[in-house]
Every structure is written in C-alpha cells, then in structure tokens.
Structure 1
Amino acid sequence: MSAFEERLARVEVEVAEARKDAAAARVLAGGADREVSAMRVELRAHTKSLHALRETQVEQGQQIAELRSEMRDGFAKARSELQGLDAEMRDGFTKLNHGQVRITALLTAHLGASGDSAG
C-alpha cells in the first residue's frame, strides 16, 4: 500500500468517526433542545404563579390599608362618643350634686325649724 493510500485510509476512518461524533452531537443537541423546552414551560408556569402571587399580595395590601382606615375611623368615632358621654355624665353628676345640696339644705332647714318648735 502506498503512502497515499494509507493516508486516504486514515482520512476515511477519521471521516467515519467524525460522522459518528456528529450524529452523537445531533442526538445530544436534540435532547438538550427538549430539556430547554421543558424548562421554558416550567419557567413560564413559575412566572405565572409569581405574577398571581404578586396580584394577591397587592390586593391584600389594599384590603389591609382599607381595614386600617376603617379601624382608625371607628376608634376616632368611639373616642368622640366617649368624650360626649363623659361630658354628659359630668353634667349629670353636677346636677345630682346640686340637687343633693338643695335637699340637704331643705332637710337641715326643716329639721332646724322642727327642733326650734320642739324646744
């Protein structure tokens, strides 16, 4: 066999190996493509979930803010009503005190007058 034929035989072997390597690379590339596609599907699903979670959190944040506002308004109203009741109660106690003072004065005058006529 001549040197040329030997070199040609080696090149043919190398080309055959290169074809096998290329076929294997195509198989691997196809598998990688399928895996990437599957990962994209999962990534989209995760992204949708995160967007839904964010929307829920935003809605809940708004609801919490509304509840806080309602609660503050309710406490302010209750405080105002209690202050009004406090004023009414003080006014009532003042009237009762004046009435008791008047009753005591009348009783004292009556008992004093009764004591004077008894003696």
Structure 2
Amino acid sequence: MASLEDLEARVTALEEKVDQTRQDATAARVLAGAADRDVSEFKQTLNGHTKVLNAVRETQVEQDQEIKSLRADMNSGFTKVNIAIEQIAQLLHQALKKD
C-alpha cells in the first residue's frame, strides 16, 4: 500500500493538474468568445457584401434592358437612314439618266 507521503504527493500533483486544467478552460472560454465575436463580424460583413452584390445585379439587369431598348431604337434609326439613302441614291440615279 502507498505511504501517506506518496499519497500526499499524488494529491498535490492532482490538485496542480486540476488548477492548470481550470486555467486552460478559462483561457479556452476567452478564445471561444473572441472567435464567436469574430464570426459574427464576418457574418455581418458578408451580409453587407451580399446586399451590395444583389443591388449591383439589379442595376445591371435594368441597364441591360435599357441597352436592349436603345439598341432596338438605334437599329430602327439606321434602317430609316439606310432607306432614305437608298431613296436619295435612286433619285440621283434617275436625275443623272435624264441629263
């Protein structure tokens, strides 16, 4: 059987380990709290970025629709100009034939 001195040494060592474990647990809680705050801040930042990207996307969709409309107007205008140039060319051609 273990002697009383041996038992006291083992109890003292165990108490020191329990103390160290408590300190480690306290430090772990502090680190976990800081990590939790960091994650919350990152989530807020990510949510902000997501909102900005969604707003940019909406703007791009609107601009794409406007560009399509402007392109259609431009094509229509060029068609009218081409028709008018063709008519002018025909009139010039007829005028030159008469001379």
User: What's the TM-score, normalizing by structure 2?
Assistant: 0.86
Q: Please report how far the alpha carbon of residue 85 of structure 1 lies from its aligned counterpart in structure 2 after TM superposition.
A: 2.2
* Residue number among 83, 87, 90 corresponding to 2:86 in the alignment: 83
Counterpart residue type for residue 48 of structure 1: K
Q: Please report how far the alpha carbon of residue 89 of structure 1 lies from its aligned counterpart in structure 2 after TM superposition.
A: 3.1
Q: Is there any run of 5+ residues in structure 2 with no aligned partner, and where?
A: none
Say which SS state the counterpart of residue 78 (structure 2) adopts.
helix
Say which SS state the counterpart of residue 2 (structure 1) adopts.
helix
Q: Does 1:14 align with 2:17?
A: yes
- List per-residue Cα deviations over 1:30-85 (Å, max 9, x = no partner): 01100110010000001111111112122212222222221111101110112122
Report the aligned-residue RMSD.
1.5
Q: Is there any run of 5+ residues in structure 1 with no aligned partner, and where?
A: 98-119
Looking at structure 2, the residues matched to 84 and 63 of structure 1 have their Cα atoms a distance apart, in angstroms, of: 32
Q: Please report how far the alpha carbon of residue 8 of structure 1 lies from its aligned counterpart in structure 2 after TM superposition.
A: 0.8
Q: How high is the sequence identity, in percent, across the aligned residues?
A: 43
1:23-42 map, 5 Å: 23-42=26-45
Q: Does 1:43 align with 2:38?
A: no
Q: Does 1:72 align with 2:87?
A: no
Looking at CA atoms only, which structure, 1 or 2, has the larger radius of gyration? 1
